[in-house]
Amino acid sequence: MDRGEREIVDRLEARAGQIAGEIADAMLAEVQLFGAERDTAVRAEILALTRQHLDGFVAATRTGSGPPPELLAAVRGRAALRARQMVPLAAQLHSLLIAQRVILAAISAEAGDDAGSRGAALGLTARTFDYSVTVITTLADAYIEVVQGELAELDTARRALVDALLSGADARPELARRAVGLGFDVENQQVVALVAVDDRRGCEPYPVPPRWAIPAIARAAGRTQRTAFVVARGNELIALLDRAGPSGYLDVLQRASADIRQAHGAALRAGVGGPFAGLPGFAGAYHQARRALRHTSAERPVVEGPGDLLLFDELTAARQDAAELIPAATRAALSDPALRGALDAFVAADLHIATAAKALFLHPNSLRYRLGRIARCTGRDPRRVTDLLELIAATRVLDHDHHGTASS
């Protein structure tokens, strides 16, 4: 440190109390978390911490080293405490940046207009940034370490609760208290949503729910990961969502889907169980959601059970090995885009040839020819009701076998 820098640091040290007060007042005015606090004890606490950091900066500048070890230890301890108190990390980082801004302004004021002093001020400015980076990194690392540890513990506890409820555990008072502490609302009506995330690039579901989907759903519900009951369990992602209100499940799933699509280029699908209240209703709602998820698709991303489910759809999706019952000739015919399109249009038009042909931009005779080819290839004539039902069932089973097995 040269003479010019030393003189500026000496003047900063002489004004340390005043500068610390300016930093504390700026924090109270600008950081929303502190702005609601008007207690003199709060200001005194902030002032003491600010003075500690300012003294640490002066000492580090004089020695040419980084922040003192005892200061970094205090930073780690306080960051861990704030993490457990759920004080946002952004508020703490904002406070440190305010302190840096005020110190830089003080350095500039002490330097004045003299060219030599201005050069010294530039050198101290660089030291200020180095000092702040070390403190901010220490704070963020300690905070994140605590948060990640607590979230891992919450995930484990939530999975254990789900396992207990699905195994038929009695809803004893101690289990209810445990559930409330994990974010399970035992009083108000809610729904179970089983969520799948599809990779848009491959149009296939992730075999294991991506970790970033959990905070996306929590944010969409207006909650944090600590307070939202969203947990990965095997290849499932289970979310407990409000039935209605501003955080109703449909709005939450829509917001989460938009967030995931924008941030990760992925798509969200969800099966939703019927509304319930209390621990005993969870298992039934879960199984309804699991059944509903089997029937989701890109065109139908949210399916609610049992209201949105049809018996025919469920029967064609109920057995994992049902595709083995489809003859090879039928499988080949239904894999032909022209023949499959003809069958789908015919069914969508309620078996009306002219309407289906118009939808396909075909002459009615061309559509009749394709339906005849299906009959010749499969032995099932789509113009006969019983054969048509067999063909429709085959298309549903094949679609489920291709798209739905990872979600079942």
pLDDT tens-digit series, residues 82-126: 888 778 888 889 999 999 999 999 998 888 777 778 888 888 898
Of 80-84, 166-170, 244-248, 320-324, where does mean pLDDT reach its minimum? 320-324
Give the pLDDT confidence of 24-57 residue by residue, as tens digits: 889 888 887 765 555 677 788 888 988 998 899 8
Give the pLDDT confidence of 388-403 residue by residue, as tens digits: 988 988 888 887 765 5
Model-level pTM?
A: 0.60
Cα separation, 105 vs 90, whole angstroms = 22
Reduced to 3 states, what is the DSSP secondary structure of residue 114? coil
Q: How confident is the model at residue 298 (pLDDT cuts 50, 70, 90)?
A: confident
* CA neighbor of 406 nearest in space, from 221, 242, 256, 198: 198
Residue 407 has pLDDT above 70, yes or no: no
Q: What pLDDT is stored for residue 201 in this prediction?
A: 59
Q: Which CATH class is domain 183-309?
A: alpha beta
pLDDT over 90, % of the chain: 44
Q: Any idea where the domains of the chain sit in the sequence?
A: 3-148, 183-309, 318-407
Q: What is the mean pLDDT of residues 125-143?
A: 91
Cα separation, 276 vs 190, whole angstroms = 6
In the numeric block, which tokens belong to residue 47?
């002032």
Q: What pLDDT is stored for residue 375 in this prediction?
A: 93
- Of the options 1.10.490.10, 2.40.10.10, 3.40.50.970, 1.10.3720.10, the CATH number for the domain spanning 3-148: 1.10.490.10
**Superfamily name and number for 318-407:** PucR C-terminal helix-turn-helix domain (1.10.10.2840)
**Rounded to a whole number, what is the distance in angstroms from the first to the last CA of the chain?**
67
Q: What pLDDT is stored for residue 408 in this prediction?
A: 42
Q: What pLDDT is stored for residue 45 in this prediction?
A: 84
Neighbours of 192 (CB within 10 A): 30
Q: What pLDDT is stored for residue 174 in this prediction?
A: 80
Give the pLDDT confidence of 190-214 residue by residue, as tens digits: 999 999 998 865 557 788 889 899 9
Mean pLDDT, rounded, of the chain = 86
Q: What pLDDT is stored for residue 221 in this prediction?
A: 93
Same CATH topology for 3-148 and 183-309?
Answer: no
Residue 289 has pLDDT above 90, yes or no: yes
Q: What pLDDT is stored for residue 316 in this prediction?
A: 62
Q: Is 377 or 112 the better-scoring residue by pLDDT?
A: 377
Residue 70 has pLDDT above 60, yes or no: yes
Give the pLDDT confidence of 305-361 residue by residue, as tens digits: 777 666 666 666 655 666 777 889 998 999 999 999 999 999 999 999 999 999 999
pLDDT over 70, % of the chain: 91
Answer for the pair 279, 186: CB distance below 8 angstroms, yes or no. yes
CA dihedral for 383, 386, 390, 393, sign (positive or negative): positive
Q: What is the mean pLDDT of residues 215-227?
A: 91
Q: What angle (nearest 5°) sits at the alpha carbon of residue 213, between those of residues 209 and 217?
A: 130
Only one residue has tokens 């040419």, namely 64
DSSP 8-state secondary structure symbol assigned to residue 310: -
266-272 vs 302-304, strand pairing mode: parallel
Answer for the pair 245, 221: CB distance below 8 angstroms, yes or no. no
Q: 336-352 burial string, b = 16+ CB within 10 Å, else e?
A: eeebbbbbbbbeebeee
Q: What pLDDT is stored for residue 136 in this prediction?
A: 92
Cα separation, 271 vs 297, whole angstroms = 10
Q: What is the mean pLDDT of residues 251-280?
A: 92
Q: How confident is the model at residue 158 (pLDDT cuts 50, 70, 90)?
A: very high
Give the pLDDT confidence of 361-375 residue by residue, as tens digits: 999 999 999 999 999
* CA neighbor of 239 nearest in space, from 261, 221, 258, 265: 221
230-233 vs 302-304, strand pairing mode: unpaired
